[in-house]
Amino acid sequence: MPQDVTAQALERQGLVLLAARLAYSGNLTDEQIAQRVQRSRKTVNTWKQTDIYKRETARLAEIARTQNANVLLRSRDYRLEKLQDRHDRLLQVIEARARHPELRRVPGGKTGALVLEPRTVAGERVLVAKFDAALFREVRDLERQAAEECGQYGEASEDAGRRGSVRLSEALLIYREIVRSKRGSD
């Protein structure tokens, strides 16, 4: 007889776990769950009050949170890597301009902040050095986006903004350290 009791308890436990999983999926009503586990709706509602049911739904919720966090981390990491790549390419443009022989002779030309634009002056084509605001706006926007991704920009970090801007490379390093620490704690 004790083996029958154990078998019945195990069967009941299995049905409670199945009911918890079906309920957590959110696709079935209590009536449909009761039909699937071949019990009454009242029994399923009673099971909802048991520790095993509550632990299983909590376990499933934690698994879902972890999976969602991992997806978010991977997508954030991907976005930061792409931001870093674009930022590096823009800095290469700035550095190349700073080495350009014609720009080096112009005041401010060694900074890489200037671009040569062809103009016609008195019927003659000349190159005019001009500050490339669009390029620097793009660099600034990339840095801001990286800081936002890392939670270092906005209301919570207004005082940090007064101290100086966060470099994209610094933001990426901070973010990677956060990812490593989160992965290590899982």
Q: Supply the pLDDT for residue 185.
A: 58
Each domain of the chain, given as residue ranges in start order, spans 2-49, 63-185
In whole angstroms, what separates CA 20 from the centre of its chain? 30
Looking at residue 157, its pLDDT comes to 47
Strand partners for 60:
none
Interhelix angle 168-185/133-149, nearest 10 degrees: 20
Q: How far apart are alpha carbons 108 and 46 in whole angstroms?
A: 78
Q: Indicate whether this model's pTM tops 0.75.
A: no
**C-alpha span between 30 and 101 (Å, rounded):** 77
Let me know: does 111 contact 45? Beta carbons within 8 Å: no
pLDDT, tens digit only, all 186 positions of the chain: 455 568 788 888 889 989 998 988 888 898 999 999 999 999 999 999 999 999 999 998 888 888 877 777 678 788 888 889 999 999 999 999 999 998 888 898 899 999 999 999 899 999 889 999 999 999 999 999 888 888 887 654 445 444 555 566 676 677 667 767 666 655
How far apart CA 83 and CA 63 sit, in angstroms, is: 30
Closest CA relative to residue 81, chosen from 146, 152, 148, 178: 146
